[in-house]
Amino acid sequence: MSQERPVIGLSSATASEPNTSDSFCFWLAPGIIVNPFDIVEAEQVAPQGTSRTFGIVTILDHTTDAPTHLSNFISNDFGQVQSEPNTARQGTTVAHVVVLSNDQDIYMPVMNDRPVRFADEAGIHTALGIDQVPERYRVPAGLIEMSNGTRAVVYLDSRYILGPEGAHVNITGISGLATKTSYAIFLIQSILQKAENRDRIGVIILNVKHGDLLTIDQPPRARLSPEEHELWEALGLMPQPFSNVRYLLPYGKDTQTTGRPNSFRIPERNWFLYAYSLQDTYDKLDLLLSNIPDPWDTVGALIGEIHQGLSDPRTGQWGPRGRWQSVTDWNTLLNGEPLVREGQAQPVGDVRAVSVGRFRRLLRRIVQTRQTGIFVSQRPRDVKNLSQEIAKIRGGETVVVDIARLADEEQTLVFGDILRTIYALYAEEGGESENLPEKVIIFVDELNKYAPAREKESPIIEQVLDIAERGRSLGVVLLGAEQFMSAVHERVVGNCSTMVIGRSGSAELSSPAYRFLDPAVKANVSRLQKGELVVSHATFRQPVKIRFPRPAYLQEGTGNS
């Protein structure tokens, strides 16, 4: 069968550059075009007949017999740029290949002068180990397109995305290429269409920028191009918008008068408002103040005092008592007893008055002076408690939570609230509720805001780490995206079994976060085009470059990243 495909070159081993178990080189026959990330196969020895060693091209170089550039200068009649060489200088292009696999598990170095061919689709699957993944665990992740036109669907192993073998996906790359969010949504759609027990998977999507994710259940106004359709079909997926979507939109300053949420766009249907009264927030103040430096834990201690004071010890629920009895909303907390008396900050527990004063200034700024309207004195009846809404998630349902127009502290509160709610549902309550989905996927962009690399600990980081480190066994999957992976906490990235990398700058790629990439692959990552990504998956022996189709839902503008 392989004999039908043309030989594109012969393997080459030299004294200074031997072939090894892990890599080999081959020179290209004249006229053959090969690019980095092409997957090739070389003829290899076997006990009977021959076997095939598959590899991925990492870099190509062209070499000539000119020992120095001066030789070429002199060859061109001592620097005559117009001179045409009578005989073409002897040269060849050599492709450097990293070994992926051998179809008979033979990892001898490829011998010299063995024929090398482009791999076909089956060969690509063997090369990547996809042939070892049972059909029911295969999730289409994109399409490999090679220089000779060969296409192959790249499948991820759902056991390494949704657990239990591994979990979490991280997508990184510079913005402005409409790639990261699009890919995340595409991957979610792929999971929802192909994964086993897909009706038992719930999805939570945070819309952090513009309004593109607020219409994911609406078809695009213009039909997808035939090329896009073909791409969807090649992947074995239906180009269709999400179904069964619930939108949770933030309450804004004008919502009371206009009835409009504080969002860039209002979904056509099935949307609800959410807001935070003190009653909804008193046990999440640590998340709200997560970004405040608190080296001596004074803010933490005061939050503890407030939490204790506003909780009913019998139920653990909201129930101010004793000297906290007069606290009913944000205003009474900030301006009334026990924090304030006659306009003066008072000591609370072990927390001195001066620290209480600082806490008041911080909290007032966040929930009153600079808030976007999400903090309300009392939540109107038709405005939802976000935590309770998240807890209602069901298998097959997608919940979109809009935080695009919220302030940074508010976004942190909402994201932390979602994580804490889901974690509590699965870890603390054991996830035994009949209605609870088997798996929950949480997608958030700008993950670096919530789990930054430099910070050692904060309530929101701890919450993200809990999910990152235990989510695999709980069935809670974090699908995070950011511009710079180096800006994300290494334990969060380290727990992702799938890394997706879009175009990135060379300075970013030189950071230790990318040490799993071959230097040659890094150089290629900096040249990726729109719609191209490099995927590193737990079961792949090397990262591969893929293409994926545009999402099949209504998107307006080009603000996606």
Partner 1 sequence: MEVLPAVGGAVEDLERPDFEEREDQVLSEGEKVFETIFERDPGGAAPRLYRPVPPMSRSEHHLFRYFLDGSFRSYFLGTVLENERESPVHFAQVGACVLRREDDGSVRRETLRIENILLAGKQRLSEAIWGKLERLASQAGVHLLDLTESDIVSGVLADLDLRNKAAGKVRFAMHKLEAEAITEILPQLSEECWLVVDGSLLFEPALAQLGRGDHLKPVVGVAKNFRKDPQFVFGRGPRAERYSIYGMLAKLQAEHRTAAFSMRGGKVVFWYVRLREQTLLDYPLMGVVKVELANHSQEPVPSELIDKISRALVAERSVTPYGQDRRWHAHLYPIFLAERAVKESLLSREAVQQFLKWR
SS3 295: coil
> Is the Cβ of residue 1 or residue 15 nearer to partner 1 in the bound state?
15
Question: Residue 19 Cβ, how far from partner 1 at the closest point, in Å?
Answer: 18
Question: Residue 66 Cβ, how far from partner 1 at the closest point, in Å?
Answer: 7
**Can you tell me which of 4, 47, 49, 65 binds partner 1, judged by CB under 8 A?**
65
Query: Should residue 135 be labelled a site residue for partner 1 when binding is judged by CB under 8 A?
Result: no
SS3 514: helix
Query: Should residue 76 be labelled a site residue for partner 1 when binding is judged by CB under 8 A?
Result: yes
Query: Should residue 296 be labelled a site residue for partner 1 when binding is judged by CB under 8 A?
Result: no
SS3 313: coil
> Is the Cβ of residue 4 or residue 84 nearer to partner 1 in the bound state?
84
Query: Should residue 16 be labelled a site residue for partner 1 when binding is judged by CB under 8 A?
Result: no
Query: Should residue 18 be labelled a site residue for partner 1 when binding is judged by CB under 8 A?
Result: no
Do 538 and 160 meet the contact criterion of CB atoms below 8 Å apart?
yes
**Can you tell me which of 18, 85, 176, 430 binds partner 1, judged by CB under 8 A?**
85
Q: In angstroms, rounded to a whole number, what is the distance separating the alpha carbons of residues 146 and 151?
A: 6
For 176: left if phi > 0, alpha if psi spans -120 to 50, otherwise beta; the answer is left
Could you tell me how many residues of this chain bind partner 1 (CB under 8 A)?
A: 20
3-class SS string, 125-192: HHHHCHHHCCHHHEEEEEEEECCCCCEEEEEEEHHHCECCCCEEEEEECCCCCCCHHHHHHHHHHHHH
**Can you tell me which of 3, 49, 70, 382 binds partner 1, judged by CB under 8 A?**
70
**Can you tell me which of 16, 48, 86, 257 binds partner 1, judged by CB under 8 A?**
86
**The one segment of 77-85, 290-298, 514-522, 535-543 that binds partner 1 by CB under 8 A:** 77-85
**The one segment of 71-79, 177-185, 298-306, 405-413 that binds partner 1 by CB under 8 A:** 71-79
Sort 312 into a burial class: Cβ within 10 Å, 0-12 / 13-18 / 19+. Answer: exposed
Q: Nearest-CA neighbor of 367 among 282, 258, 263, 249?
A: 282
- For tokens 């042939």, name the residue: 131
> Is the Cβ of residue 94 or residue 366 nearer to partner 1 in the bound state?
94
Q: Encoding tokens for residue 472?
A: 């695999």
Question: Residue 25 Cβ, how far from partner 1 at the closest point, in Å?
Answer: 18
Q: Encoding tokens for residue 541?
A: 């022996």
- For tokens 């010299």, name the residue: 112
Query: Should residue 77 be labelled a site residue for partner 1 when binding is judged by CB under 8 A?
Result: yes
**The one segment of 65-73, 298-306, 324-332, 346-354 that binds partner 1 by CB under 8 A:** 65-73
Query: Should residue 47 be labelled a site residue for partner 1 when binding is judged by CB under 8 A?
Result: no
Query: Should residue 74 be labelled a site residue for partner 1 when binding is judged by CB under 8 A?
Result: yes
> Is the Cβ of residue 19 or residue 102 nearer to partner 1 in the bound state?
19
Question: Residue 16 Cβ, how far from partner 1 at the closest point, in Å?
Answer: 15
Question: By CB under 8 A, what part of segment 24-43 binds partner 1?
Answer: 30
> Is the Cβ of residue 15 or residue 222 nearer to partner 1 in the bound state?
15
> Is the Cβ of residue 71 or residue 378 nearer to partner 1 in the bound state?
71
For 263: left if phi > 0, alpha if psi spans -120 to 50, otherwise beta; the answer is beta
**Integer CA distances (angstroms), 227 to 224, 232, 368, 442, 550, in order:** 8, 9, 51, 30, 10
Query: Should residue 84 be labelled a site residue for partner 1 when binding is judged by CB under 8 A?
Result: yes
Query: Should residue 512 be labelled a site residue for partner 1 when binding is judged by CB under 8 A?
Result: no
- For tokens 């737990």, name the residue: 538
Q: Encoding tokens for residue 467?
A: 């999910």
Find the angle CA(206)-CA(208)-CA(213) to the nearest 5 degrees: 65
Query: Should residue 529 be labelled a site residue for partner 1 when binding is judged by CB under 8 A?
Result: no
Which residue ranges make up the site for partner 1 (CB under 8 A)? Answer: 30, 65-68, 70-71, 74-78, 83-90
